[in-house]
Amino acid sequence: MSVLQRPAGEAVAALSGPGREPGSGRGRSGRRRPRSRARVNTQVVIALALIAVFVLLAVFAPLIAPYDPVAGDASQKYLPVGSPGFLLGTDEQGRDILSRLIWGGRTSMLVSLIAVVASTLVGSALALTAGFANDRVAGLIMRSIDVMFAFPVIIAALAFAIILGPGLLVVVLAIVFVATPYVTRIVFAEVKRHRGREYVEAAVSLGAGFWSILFREVLPNVAGHIVVYATGLVGAMIVFSSSISALGIGVQPPAADWGRMISEGAKVIISGNVTVALLPGLVVLVVALAFNWLGDGLNDVFDPHKRRSRS
């Protein structure tokens, strides 16, 4: 019996579907789904706004920063937050902390972004190759990744510093060394999941070559996961790059860098000048959280099944 041939009450119930109230047009969770989507959208907007603010501050640092970030005045050192002319105070050399925070974003964020992009490209290429190569090639690639996982990161960074000398290049190489294994593992799992899909088998049956299948069929279907993971990885690598600089093997003084500022401020915390280290630490925390929020929000956008399960 069709819906139109049923009694009025049954027809309304059939059109409403299980778990729906007549005339509501929504399931039991219908009221919560818009809230869940609104929460995701709000999270992405807030994260993008925070990232945009810090990026704009870094790009226009010469115009926005009130003082030269490396010029100091010994007579003005350790001024507290809110001092006239120095909104966030000064450090142990009398340098304006606000100016150094603005300029420090140029190195901290730029280095992390470049390194994450490089590690994402390298890791994705390795994962795509391992996912469709024969067992010998795949085993060689993934066992090499396991070795990178097991190798102490700090020792690798110190080795780069000994060979190349301390500087930005050491930070970039250390981040690439850290991030590449994680990217490779994540992308490899996605590639293996798509390897047996119908569209891949159809491409093989039509005579598509190895590289054509990788870059024209599989890559577009896993690109969303790569973007989501790389976005969240930027936040973690900003923290890591700050740690490298804090150890003294990254950005060298007097250049402004968030990690270097934390390291220099940590030396004077015992004397009561907490804000010198606290302010750059809070900036690193906020930027890292913003990238993590953005990655989490994009994950919900790209994965509707997860979004529905949360709602």
Cα within 13 Å of Cα(58), Cβ side: 19
Residue 39 pLDDT? 59
Among the ranges given (28-42, 80-94, 201-215, 236-250), the one the predictor scored with the smallest mean pLDDT: 28-42
By percentage, how much of the chain surpasses pLDDT 70? 82
pTM, two decimals, is 0.75
Residue 19 pLDDT? 44
The conformation of residue 125, written as its DSSP 8-state character, comes to H
Q: Which residue, 165, 139, 170, is CA-closest to 259? A: 170
Q: Mean pLDDT over all residues of the chain?
A: 80
Is pLDDT at 56 greater than 90 in this prediction? yes
Report the C-alpha gap between 51 and 170 in whole angstroms: 25
Per-residue pLDDT tens over the stretch 114-130: 999 999 999 999 998 88
Q: How confident is the model at residue 6 (pLDDT cuts 50, 70, 90)?
A: very low
Mean of pLDDT values over 289-304? 79
Among the ranges given (17-21, 119-123, 251-255), the one the predictor scored with the smallest mean pLDDT: 17-21
Report the C-alpha gap between 97 and 70 in whole angstroms: 10
Backbone angles phi, psi at 5, to 5 degrees: -90, -5
Q: Which residue has the higher pLDDT, 299 or 291?
A: 291
Q: Where are the domains of the chain?
A: 46-310
In DSSP terms, 86 is beta-bridged to: 83
Is pLDDT at 259 greater than 80 in this prediction? yes
Report the C-alpha gap between 100 and 144 in whole angstroms: 40
Q: How confident is the model at residue 108 (pLDDT cuts 50, 70, 90)?
A: confident
Residue 36 pLDDT? 54
Residue 199 pLDDT? 74
N-terminal to C-terminal alpha carbon distance within the chain: 34
Which pair of tokens denotes residue 51?
């990232």
Q: How confident is the model at residue 88 (pLDDT cuts 50, 70, 90)?
A: very high
46-310: CATH topology = MetI-like fold (1.10.3720)
Residue 150 pLDDT? 87
